[in-house]
Each structure stands twice: as C-alpha cells, then as structure tokens.
Structure 1
Amino acid sequence: MNITRRRFLTVSAAALATPGRAATRHDWSGLALGTAVRLRLSGASDHQAQRVFRRVAAVLTQVEADFSLHRDSALARLNRDGRLAFPGEQMLRLCALADRVHRATGGAFDPSVQPLWLAMALGHDPAKARAALGWSRVRVATQEIRLDHGMALTFNGIAQGHAADRIADLMRDEGLENVLIDMGEVQALGHAPGGVPWRARIAGPDGTGLAELGLSNRALATSSPFGTTIGNGHSHILHPLGLPVLWQTASVSAAQAAVADALSTAACLMNRTAIDSALAEFPEARLEALS
C-alpha cells in the first residue's frame, strides 16, 4: 500500500480560563486508529485537562474495538464468523447511516467492498471477489448482524468521521465550545481564537490547494482515491460494480463528520448529476470541491 496523504488526528480546544489568570496549555500525544494523535487544550485546569484526555483516549479505543480491521474488533469478528450477536449501539448506528448513504448514492457507497479491496491489494481475481459483494445482502438487526458466505465489511470510508463526531459530542459534554478536531476529516465547533471561523484548506493528493473555507459547527471531509494506492497502483476507493473513479478529489461539508466522510468517499465514484442527487438526500451537506 502506498500512502501519499498524511493521516493524523489533532484536537485543539479552548476552555474558559479563570479571570485574572493566564490561560494554561496542556498537551497530550499518543497512537489511535493507526495514526498519531495530538491533543491540545488551552485554558483548562490540570484536572479537567487530564479528564478530557482520558475520555478522548477511551472514545478512540472504543472506535477501534468496534471498527478496526487490524485487531480483534467487533467488525473483525463479524467478517471472520459471518455473524455478530447483539451488536453494540455504535455499530448499529453506523450501519444505519451507511445504509442511508448507500441508498442515496445509488450503491456507490458500499461497505461490503472489503473482499474486492483485498483482491486488488493482493493481486487476486477481482471477478471472484465481486461475487461476494452487496450491501443489500447484509442483514442488520438488534439481535444479530449476519453476512452471506464470503462477505466482509469495511467502514474505513465512514469510521474516521464517526470518531470525530464522537469526540465532538464529548467536548460539548465537557463544556468546551471552541474545538477543532482534525483527523483528515475535520469537525469544527464554535470559533477559532479571535472569534473567527476555523480555517480549513482543501488539497488534492499531491498537496495542491483547491479551496479554503471557514468552518463553525460544521464538518469537512476530503477524499482522494489515489492519495492512497493499493496493489499495482489501484485507487483505494473502489466501486462495487468495478466502475472507474471519476474524480481525483471530492470534498463535502455537513453537520456530521460521518456524513461528510461517507459522501465524499462516494462522490469520487459518481458523476455530477448523481452527486447532486445524493446531496439532496442530506440537505445540510454541501459539495465544497471537486476536481
């Protein structure tokens, strides 16, 4: 696998500093979701900062425990066994959103592409892998999620946005109103220092700037199919029907990072008419860049 776009997660948050006292800054770094994590909190007490850091780490650990393809997660067990009994709330929630985006995009967004992804990455026959695809064949219920024989799922096109949304909920619960969460998918709460919107830059896979916009209480996701390549230079974003990638970069903003994440992923595989039709199903979403 060749990765040309740097993936990381940073969280910058500002608490209300005690009047008459200079705002203190607390930093924390670690690893989660297979990438480096950096947290910066300004204006909080030592106690609050440590509590926030612990809670963020716990959220990221839980997201990995649910959706990682590289550890003994709920998703890995589902793919291995073909069934997952009594799936957790977050798994059911993400399945419901994935189903909604799948329908809105005419099937371009399809978490069942994992067998095809593996075939392309390993140089195996993609035709055989396509026989195991089909989100409509996934049976989701509160008692069990079940896959047909040979099927496997990936939530890599939506889970990072989901993680950003969960961290945003945590920050709101902590009373932190001005927060920037950047993990490739950006979730911006409130305002940047100075009371202005947070600034986000949209770039193509080679780093060339495409657009810049302000964000306040809004998320932004950018997908570049060839920012990461698999196998012999194949796009890491794959259409379940084997149709070609149509765009080098697609960027979508929405109230939820998971929505923006999934729609930007699917947009790379859709013509402009289909993109507009999909966005109409999510009135809060906007196409911010397409190249």
Structure 2
Amino acid sequence: MFSDQVESFSGPTMGSTYSVKYVQRRGTPAKEDLQRESEAILAELDRQLSTYRADSDIERFNALPAGSCAPVPASVRELVAAGERLSVESEGALDLTIGPLLDLWGFGSHSHGEQVPDAGAIAAARQRVGHQHLRIDGKQLCKDAPVQVDFNSIAAGHAVDRVVARLEALGVDSYLVEITGELKARGHKPDGTPWRIAIEAPHDNERVAQKIIALDGYGVSTSGDYRNFFEQDGKRYSHTVDPQSGAPVVHRLAAVTVVDPSALRADGLSTILMVLGDERGLVFAERQGIAAFLVIREDQGFITKSTAAFDRLFGAGDKQ
C-alpha cells in the first residue's frame, strides 16, 4: 500500500544552502532524480550568474570595457529585463549595476573591507552605476558605460522559480522550495495542512518568529538590515545601499517581507522596499498592490505594518 509522504533533500548553493520538501506520491520521480534535476539548474545558474567566479557568463561580461556587446544565455537576458522593469517601476530604487557602490562600502563581492568612503569616491563609483547603460540586442547584452551587473537582488528568487517549474513539470504538485532564504510553496501536506513559514522578527543574534503564514502558490522574500551592517564612530551602516544617493539607507525600516506569485519579483520588491524605507515604501507598496509586511523601529522596540494586499491574503493580525 503506497501512501503519500513528505520527502526532502538539501545542499549547498550560491554561497549558502537550498532545501526542497515535497509530497512524494505514487508516480512521482524518485528523490534522487528530483535532487539531480534541481542541482543541475542551480549549477547552471551559478555558471551564468555568479559574481564570485571569474568564469561565469556575467563576470566575463562585467570585465568588458564600455561599448562592448557579448552573447549571453537566455536566463541572463531574462534577468536583465526583469531588473530593468523593477528599476523603472521603482524609479531607480533597484539597480542591477550597483556593484561598484556595494564594493566601495564593503558589502560587495569584490570589496576590500567595510569603510565609510569620501564624497569623491562615491561620486566616482556612481559614474559606473546605472541600468540605462545596459541594453539587450538580440542574444547579446551590451553596455555603453563601464558598468557591471550583479544579480544578487533577484537571482535567488529566479532560482526558486526555475526549480519549482522543473518540479511541477516532473509531476510534483505539493512542495516548499527554499534557496538562500527565498522560497515558494504550493499545495498541502498529506494530512491536509498547508505549508507554513515564519516571518522572522529582526533580532541581531537570535531567530524569533514574528508571524506565521500559510502559503499556497506564492513566493516569499524577506530583506532586512539587522544582520549585515557595520558601525563606525557610533553610527550604523546598513548593507542596503540606495543607488541614487550612493550611500546606505537611513530610515526606520528594519525588515520587510514581500509575498508574490513570482519568487523573483518578491525578491526584487523586498530590496526595493528596504531602499525606500517605511514611509515611501508603504506608499509604493499600497499603490502597486504589493503584499508586504513591514517591521519598523520605534523607540526601543518595533511596530509592524502590513499592506491591504497582505491583509487580504493572511489577515491583518496584530498591529502593535
């Protein structure tokens, strides 16, 4: 007698980890086959998108001078186009070419330690930032300035969407896929309960659940400034850098969670809202119909706010 059961596999990827939980049914491929298929996608994306390996497709493009074009895989073009849409939508709050500024402040893949740069160095780095310097020409990616592309704000979400699409094509209809913290879930477990995930409260050194939500067909991304930062002369500098000011953001938003059918879009939107902050971010999210849950610093503690779209999905909950 075959009964449905939850199976899982996991491993390292993108400098972090991934995990897949799914319901194994009669006729579902063997776990080893699903793991091999998933890891083949992750390995391919690493070869294409990683800024931590000089032989990746995007790093080879990044090494080219201004005025260059190079053929790139379809997924690279797809991500550049997605980044362009998010950048236009957010009026520049997300920019895939922000790498030189992240490196300058010590948060990038090619940085040399955390530091507070002077205004001249920021101005010079900003000359090498701007999605408008990129264009797609057929199967080629071109640049008219010496910009470099960094997909870290959307690559993990894209990886989730790719793995999920492959699992569904192979007949998996209930799953929870998590890649470096970005995730998506669909369906129910054998006992009929939904997949649930915890939205973390922003504590520097411990993991505490702020809210538990049940997911079915949605991707989730959380961005926060509470783990990756440095302090100098008593001031805290977040790893979230505003492409327009060239400096780390200064506002009360400690963390934001975005829920969207596309994990890629959730990934990008959570970055955008962290850049915009609690006030501008909430206005933007409401205007765009984004399901977002914000954790905001107030006095010595935190308050939470959620958008109408989030409340429709998960209930208003506590607005302490």
The 8 Å contact of residues 197 and 213 in structure 2, kept in 1 or not, is answered as yes
Task: Give distance in 1, aligned partners of 2:272 and 2:178.
Answer: 21
* Correspondence for 1:111 among 96, 101, 112: 96
Corresponding residue number in structure 2 for 1:97: 82
Pair 1:35-2:32 in alignment: no
Corresponding residue number in structure 2 for 1:6: none
Pair 1:191-2:188 in alignment: yes
Equivalent position amino acid for 1:33 in 2: M
* TM-score, with structure 1 as normaliser: 0.83
The 8 Å contact of residues 187 and 217 in structure 1, kept in 2 or not, is answered as yes
* Correspondence for 2:60 among 73, 77, 81: 77
Q: Secondary structure of 1:289's match?
A: strand
Q: Deviations over 1:51-97 (max 9, x none)?
A: 21111011101111111011121111111114452221111111111
The 8 Å contact of residues 28 and 171 in structure 2, kept in 1 or not, is answered as no
Q: Deviations over 1:218-255 (max 9, x none)?
A: 11110013422369663222111226243110111000
Q: 1:77 to 1:164 in 2, by over 3 A?
A: same
Corresponding residue number in structure 1 for 2:238: 235
Corresponding residue number in structure 1 for 2:172: 176
Q: Secondary structure of 1:62's match?
A: helix
Q: Secondary structure of 2:275's match?
A: coil
Which 5+ residue runs of structure 2 have no aligned equivalent?
A: 107-111, 297-320
Task: Please report the RMSD computed on the Cα atoms of aligned residues, expressed in angstroms.
Answer: 2.5
Task: Give distance in 2, aligned partners of 1:196 and 1:25.
Answer: 12
* Correspondence for 1:58 among 31, 36, 40: 40
* Correspondence for 1:258 among 239, 251, 264: 264
Which 5+ residue runs of structure 1 have no aligned equivalent?
A: 1-19
Task: Give distance in 2, aligned partners of 1:128 and 1:90.
Answer: 31
Task: Give distance in 1, aligned partners of 2:156 and 2:129.
Answer: 22
Q: How does 1:105-254 map to 2 (within 5 A)?
A: 105-121=90-106, 122=112, 123=115, 125-183=121-179, 184-206=181-203, 207-229=207-229, 234-242=237-245, 244-246=249-251, 247-254=253-260
Which moves more between the two structures, 52-61 or 134-143?
A: 134-143
Q: 1:245 to 1:135 in 2, by over 3 A?
A: farther
Which moves more between the two structures, 88-97 or 158-167?
A: 88-97
* TM-score, with structure 2 as normaliser: 0.76
Deviation at 1:274, TM superposition (A): 4.0
Deviation at 1:192, TM superposition (A): 3.2
Q: Deviations over 1:124-167 (max 9, x none)?
A: 53232112111112122224212344321211011000000001
Which moves more between the two structures, 173-182 or 270-279?
A: 270-279
Aligned length: 271
Task: Give distance in 2, aligned partners of 1:223 and 1:43.
Answer: 32
Equivalent position amino acid for 1:191 in 2: H
Equivalent position amino acid for 1:221 in 2: S
Q: Secondary structure of 2:79's match?
A: helix
Task: Give distance in 1, aligned partners of 2:5 and 2:213.
Answer: 29
Which moves more between the two structures, 77-86 or 220-229?
A: 77-86
Corresponding residue number in structure 1 for 2:314: none
Q: 1:162 to 1:192 in 2, by over 3 A?
A: same
Task: Give distance in 2, aligned partners of 1:171 and 1:84.
Answer: 34
